Structure 1
Amino acid sequence: MTHVHSTATRPGTAAGGDPLRAPISTRVVVDASGAGATGLSEALSALGLSPEAPDAGAGAGSEAPAAYCALLLGEEAYGAERSAGLDRERIRTAALAMAAAGRGRLVLVTDATGETHAGTDPDRYARLAADRAWWQHLVTEVAGRGVTGNTVVTGYSPDLGHHLSEAAEAGLLRYLVQRRPTTAADVAATVAFLVSEGCSYLVGETVPVDGGAGLGQIPSLPAGTPTLAPRRSAPQDQPPPEPVTGQDLLGHKVLVAGASSGIGRAAALHLAGRGADVVLAARRTQALEEVAAEIEALGRQAWTLRCDLSDPEDAATLGERAWKAADGVTTLLYAAGHLGFSTVGGDPASAARTFAVNLHSFVAVTEYLTARWREEKVPGAVVGVSSVSSTLSPVAGLEYYGASKAAMAQYIRCLAVSVARHGIRANCVAPGIIETPMGDAAGPEHRRGWISRIPAGRVGDPREVAAVLGFLLSGSAARVTGAVLRADGGFGLGDVAPLRPGFPEFVEVESP
């Protein structure tokens, strides 16, 4: 059954989008000098932010900046100048001032990937690696006091001061999934997200704005082709990023699978707030109707489709039904999930349902839509909701859940390579413990133990995950593909609260 909801904007309804997209402050300290700082500052200004240099005379008693962006650029293989490294004292002073104020965003923009390249200086790489390790420790230190810190990896970017010969650049681009350099605008759009109100549960994460360089794609190189320049996807082929507020998803039709509750519901409302029309799919039709009514109140259109994603036949038709209902779908958000438990000796029924919902139905919907996008030359985007259980947090009885979510993440990474040539992106978000019905499945003791290992010191809110999902589906993430981002409050940093000086006791902090 399909229900259609009106797109007419009601008098008095907001048209400015989700407030979580707003920057925590329009003033952003950009701590660097040279071409990289100039290029990034100009791109941030174009998004409505106000970059400024750090106050060299600022001391411990100075006013805390709300948003601080440090540049660490020195990748020799990209032709970068030798880096002077991070000004650790200055950055630490700013971070502690933020922590004292209980609010702030730290962003490291770097071209240092940790990869090795023949003929380059190992000591130079070691210094960059040391600064990145120092940054992660600083992020962990302030995470529990209202400050989130993350890293942007740029890839090859002449806008930020990288210089290669034409032949060397052609060789490098051949190994990229998206065959073009990263622009300052690409980086600025991601920085704008990381200093936004909604970026509050992404802690210590690395966002690869590198066109899939880190995926390790191995291209085919027939005899005689190594010296030929590959086809480049010109930056001008991509629409410029929208300002950091406003309805940047107008014209998009998003299929949200698992939209009746939790992260899927929050994401559907977030996307509608940014201007998207939404196809809502789940088993519980009454809950879908309630979400659709809220989307209609935002002035957007909604369609509701009942679909049991544990049923292979039902799931196999969802992509086509959504396409027909909305007259096309431009993006897919798969937020459905089943927390299936195992027992000693196995539980075939639980295993079948868990893999059906978490993996097989996701693959079926994704493959239908990516095929349609290729046929109709639609630059679509897919984002799947995985889990930190895919790589971290092994829990007794969750073998099926963890394995199914790990398979989803690897499928996304491989898909990103396969469809990039068609202008299609694929990414994944791996939430930690979130305040949802699924998050409530953890018993009090397990929940307490889990939170004690989260540097942010609290459970995440579905809206915080929705903000990350919205970023990945939007044009602001045009250079991000094949990424798996953990929205886990820093759990993936591996911090153990009882081992940290000054944290002898566990204190639960309420979610925002």
Structure 2
Amino acid sequence: MTVAALVTGGNRGIGLAIARELRAAGEEVAVTHRGSDVPSGLLGVRCDVTDSEQVDAAFDRAEAELGPITSVVANAGITDDRLLLRMDEQRFTRVLDTNLTGAYRVAKRGVRTMLRRRRGRLIFVSSVVGFRGEVGQANYAASKAGLLGMARSLARELGPRGITANVVAPGLIDTDMSAALPAERKRAVLDGIPLGRFGDPAEVAAVVGWLASDRAGYVTGALIPVDGGAGMGN
């Protein structure tokens, strides 16, 4: 049986590392993007997760070319930072619509196939910020914290059908986004990480790859931090 996965925002950074990890494990992999190049070996499907019709179309194309999607990684996300008193409602809801409601749209469409096959993996990429908070990121933190409540609800709802739902919460990972941080900010962040370094996208991908595998078949409703110890106790 062909095993296929769809990773949202899988054309760069953490998402791309996840897609490559799943591909190396033998899965056929589709990645969503909004117009960027997609590396060879992966099926690129254009999709904005804030649009349900685009989500449906992305799954339809991926399943037509790769077969039934039984692993879904909701990774697509944005930031739009402002202090609360300077954050208008549009800025707040835009981030939630992409990061949280977008994950709901993807999970809902993905589960349709999983229910028929009585096997599936839903994996939500959250953030340590969702559980620690961060100045200027009330919108982002709310969206990432919400993924845990959704995943645990789905774990209870879908577990009897053989579908697991789990959350991975990266800390600061060495990507283009972290590279753009000012040196002073980087030093401050590193001071709060017991391992004293940023994470590598491959380290997040390894955890996601395990959760997508049969080896994690008895793991559901879990929150797994990949943050160098930064979020201990949260």
Aligned to 1:385: 125
* Match 2:147 to one of 408, 414, 420: 408
Q: Kindly report structure 1 stretches of 4+ aligned residues shifted beyond 4 Å.
A: none
CA contact (8 A) 1:320 1:368 kept: no
Aligned to 1:266: 17
Change (3 A) 1:313 1:340: farther
Aligned to 2:68: 328
Aligned to 1:339: 79
Ranked by relative contact order (alpha carbons within 8 Å, sequence separation 6 or more), the top structure is 2
| Structure (1 or 2) with the larger CA radius of gyration | 1
Q: Distance in 2 between matches of 1:487 and 1:442?
A: 20
Aligned to 1:458: 197
| 1:227-376 → structure 2 map (5 Å cutoff) | 251-286=2-37, 288=38, 291=39, 293=40, 295=41, 302-343=42-83, 344-374=85-115, 376=116
Q: Distance in 2 between matches of 1:408 and 1:254?
A: 19
Corresponding residue SS for 1:493: coil
* Match 1:433 to one of 172, 192, 197: 172
Structure 1 residue 335, shift from structure 2 partner: 1.4
> How many aligned residue pairs are there?
232
Change (3 A) 1:327 1:252: closer
Letter in 2 for 1:354: V
Change (3 A) 1:450 1:285: closer
Cα RMSD, aligned residues only: 1.8
Structure 1 residue 441, shift from structure 2 partner: 4.8
Q: Distance in 1 between matches of 2:126 and 2:176?
A: 16
Which ranges in structure 2 are unaligned for 5 or more consecutive residues?
none
CA contact (8 A) 1:312 1:356 kept: no
CA contact (8 A) 1:282 1:309 kept: no
| 1:34-433 → structure 2 map (5 Å cutoff) | 251-286=2-37, 288=38, 291=39, 293=40, 295=41, 302-343=42-83, 344-374=85-115, 376-392=116-132, 394-433=133-172
CA contact (8 A) 1:259 1:282 kept: yes
Q: Distance in 2 between matches of 1:437 and 1:417?
A: 36
Q: Distance in 2 between matches of 1:436 and 1:348?
A: 29
Aligned to 2:219: 480
Give the structure-1-normalised TM-score.
0.43
Aligned to 1:185: none
Letter in 2 for 1:475: D
Letter in 2 for 1:255: L
Change (3 A) 1:438 1:378: farther
Corresponding residue SS for 1:356: helix
Q: Distance in 1 between matches of 2:217 and 2:134?
A: 35
Q: Distance in 1 between matches of 2:101 and 2:157?
A: 18
Change (3 A) 1:406 1:316: farther
Higher helix share: 2
Change (3 A) 1:438 1:347: farther
Q: Distance in 2 between matches of 1:391 and 1:267?
A: 22
CA contact (8 A) 1:316 1:361 kept: no
Change (3 A) 1:441 1:352: farther
Structure 1 residue 420, shift from structure 2 partner: 0.2
Q: Distance in 1 between matches of 2:55 and 2:114?
A: 19
Give the structure-2-normalised TM-score.
0.92
